[in-house]
């Protein structure tokens, strides 16, 4: 990976980019894709760091949608971002359907066609006197940002996703909070599973990767953790549970990542309108039904779902978000566009956007965390 900044960020206040006229530099900010705890902390950090440089800041409502609307831009002041760092969601709103390069347009006969509205977007951006954009998003939103940069939009990206699946950064904000929420839920499942001598199967988010399931399952002392990176053999999971029931205690917890699949099966996906990104769901129920059928143990399943995206960010996620936000403003000040901030401990560095969205980060199956779980006797079904 190529670093495009020096390892450490300047601690002094470098002057902002120069403008030919005398008006202040105008920074825009938006949040795209699924929400993640920590978005508001990034917004606060970007706004304060930019205002402290004497810039103006404008929030674009709901991803890029606000740029196409009369009243879709909000001036961001100190008051706007007062007391928001600990709040979940995003005060700017978000969407995972507003791709300017493939915008849905409904035709008179009701069918939907996709049109490229990126030129219109860039024109609107410049027409409103905006000088640069900080785009906060996951892989989809950052891919859009990367394309818009190639088309001339001065943009810096901030990586967000509870899934933690962006390769360029050691961790994304939102992940830590999602893991905490999921492991709290698993803690609660232990008592009800024990009371009823049941197997409880919980399906967690994560899309194509098993980061949330692995970390929450490990923290929550699951008996089995099924992740997309290790296609599972259900018979092995059943054997594992039978052994456990035989030696006691007679209950079990199985954590299933939504993107997990059996060795001889397919991932369980949900039908979505055409053009929407793939959505997973249903594997937890399938696994529970099959465990119940093969072992005879009473088995129940639940999907934790969007609870994992909601609520207050943990202190860790807040601090990471604040670091990312201020680093993004430093990159704008340095004119380092087409880049994304990334955590490469101990520093926050810049990586080229195009490189950052090239591939997703999967759980390393021979990595220390998987090995830790295996040493503790947790089954991966393979
Ligand atoms: O990418 C974040 C995420 O929460 C995934 O874990 C999940 O698969 C997806 O978004 C759900 O998206 P939606 O909110 O559109 O159902």
Strand partners, 200: 253, 300
Pocket lining: 206 vs ligand 1, CB cutoff 6 Å? yes
Average predicted confidence (pLDDT) for the chain:
93
Domains parsed from the chain with CATH numbers:
26-173+313-356 (3.40.50.450), 177-309 (3.40.50.460)
Residue 37, helix vs strand vs coil: coil
Residue 212's contacts (CB-CB under 8 Å, 6 or more residues apart) are: 162, 163, 164, 175, 178, 179, 182, 204, 205, 206, 257, 308
The rounded radius of gyration (Å) of the Cα atoms in the chain is 23
Residue 190's contacts (CB-CB under 8 Å, 6 or more residues apart) are: 220, 221, 251, 253
Here the tokens at position 147 are 């394309």
Q: What is d(CA 326, CA 343) in angstroms, rounded to the nearest whole number?
A: 13
191 C-alpha vs ligand 1 centroid, how far in Å? 28
Q: What is d(CA 274, CA 260) in angstroms, rounded to the nearest whole number?
A: 23
Among protein residues, the one whose CA lies closest to atom 8 of ligand 1: 207
Pocket lining: 283 vs ligand 1, CB cutoff 6 Å? no
Pocket lining: 279 vs ligand 1, CB cutoff 6 Å? yes
- Say yes or no to pLDDT of 4 above 50: no
Pocket lining: 261 vs ligand 1, CB cutoff 6 Å? no
Evaluate whether 288 touches 241 at the Cβ level (below 8 Å).
no
pLDDT in tens, 60-115: 999 999 999 999 999 999 999 999 999 999 999 999 888 999 998 899 999 989 99
- Say yes or no to pLDDT of 17 above 90: no
Here the tokens at position 150 are 């190639």
The pTM score is: 0.93
Pocket lining: 100 vs ligand 1, CB cutoff 6 Å? no
Nearest to 378 by CA among 267, 283, 243, 264: 243
Pocket lining: 114 vs ligand 1, CB cutoff 6 Å? no
Atom of ligand 1 nearest to the CA of 259: 8
pLDDT in tens, 227-239: 999 999 999 999 9
Atom of ligand 1 nearest to the CA of 212: 6
Task: Let me know if 300 is exposed, middle or buried by CB neighbors in 10 A (0-12, 13-18, 19+).
Answer: middle
Q: Are strands 112-115 and 103-106 parallel, antiparallel or unpaired?
A: antiparallel
205 C-alpha vs ligand 1 centroid, how far in Å? 7
pLDDT in tens, 145-194: 999 999 999 999 999 999 999 999 999 999 999 999 999 999 999 999 99
Where in the chain does DSSP place strands (E)?
A: 26-31, 56-60, 73-75, 103-106, 112-115, 132-137, 155-159, 199-204, 224-226, 252-257, 269-270, 279-280, 299-303, 339-344, 347-352
Atom of ligand 1 nearest to the CA of 277: 15
**Consecutive H or E run containing 376:** none
pLDDT in tens, 242-301: 999 999 999 999 999 999 999 999 999 998 765 566 899 999 999 999 999 999 999 999
Nearest to 303 by CA among 175, 212, 377: 212
Among protein residues, the one whose CA lies closest to atom 11 of ligand 1: 279
- Say yes or no to pLDDT of 44 above 80: yes
Evaluate whether 254 touches 239 at the Cβ level (below 8 Å).
no
97 C-alpha vs ligand 1 centroid, how far in Å? 12
Residues labelled as active-site residues? 163
pLDDT value of position 14 = 47
Ligand 1 mutation pick, 271, 279, 283, 308, max ligand atoms within 8 A of CB: 279
Here the tokens at position 88 are 């979940």
pLDDT value of position 11 = 56
For residue 6, name the pLDDT band (cuts at 50, 70, 90): very low
Ligand 1 mutation pick, 35, 205, 227, max ligand atoms within 8 A of CB: 205
Atom of ligand 1 nearest to the CA of 138: 1
For residue 336, the tally of other CB atoms under 10 A from its CB is 17
Ligand 1 mutation pick, 33, 34, 138, max ligand atoms within 8 A of CB: 34
């Amino acid at each position: 990976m190529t670093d495009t900044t020096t390892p450490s960020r300047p601690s002094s206040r470098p002057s902002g980019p120069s403008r030919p006229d005398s008006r202040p530099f105008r920074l825009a900010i938006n949040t795209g894709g699924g929400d993640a705890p920590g978005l508001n902390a990034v917004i606060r950090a970007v706004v304060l760091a930019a205002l402290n440089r004497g810039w103006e800041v404008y929030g674009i409502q709901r991803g890029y949608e606000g740029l196409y609307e009369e009243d879709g831009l909000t001036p961001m002041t100190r008051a706007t971002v007062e007391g928001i760092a600990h709040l979940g969601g995003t005060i700017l709103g978000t969407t995972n359907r507003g791709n300017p390069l493939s915008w849905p347009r409904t035709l008179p006969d009701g069918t939907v066609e996709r049109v490229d509205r990126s030129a219109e977007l860039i024109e609107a951006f410049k027409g409103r006197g905006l000088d640069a954009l900080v785009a906060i998003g996951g892989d989809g939103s950052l891919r859009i940002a990367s394309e818009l940069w190639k088309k001339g939009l001065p943009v810096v990206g901030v990586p967000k996703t509870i899934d933690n699946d962006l390769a360029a950064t050691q961790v994304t904000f939102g992940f830590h909070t999602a893991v905490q929420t999921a492991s709290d839920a698993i803690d609660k499942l232990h008592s009800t599973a024990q009371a009823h001598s049941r197997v409880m199967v919980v399906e967690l988010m994560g899309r194509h990767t098993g980061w949330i399931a692995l970390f929450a399952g490990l923290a929550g002392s699951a008996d089995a953790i099924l992740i997309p990176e290790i296609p599972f053999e259900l018979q092995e999971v059943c054997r594992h549970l039978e052994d456990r029931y035989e030696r006691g205690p007679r209950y079990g917890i199985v954590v299933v990542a939504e993107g997990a699949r059996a060795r001889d099966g397919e991932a369980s996906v949900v039908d979505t309108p055409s053009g929407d990104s793939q959505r997973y769901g249903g594997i937890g129920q399938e696994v529970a039904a099959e465990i119940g059928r093969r072992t005879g143990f009473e088995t129940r399943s639940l999907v934790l779902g969007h609870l994992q995206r909601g609520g207050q960010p943990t202190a860790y996620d807040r601090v990471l978000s604040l670091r990312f936000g201020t680093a993004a403003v430093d990159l704008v000040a340095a004119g380092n566009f087409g880049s994304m901030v990334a955590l490469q401990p101990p520093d926050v560095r810049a990586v080229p956007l195009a490189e950052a969205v090239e591939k997703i980060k999967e759980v390393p199956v021979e990595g220390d965390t998987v090995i830790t779980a295996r040493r503790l006797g947790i089954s991966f079904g393979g």
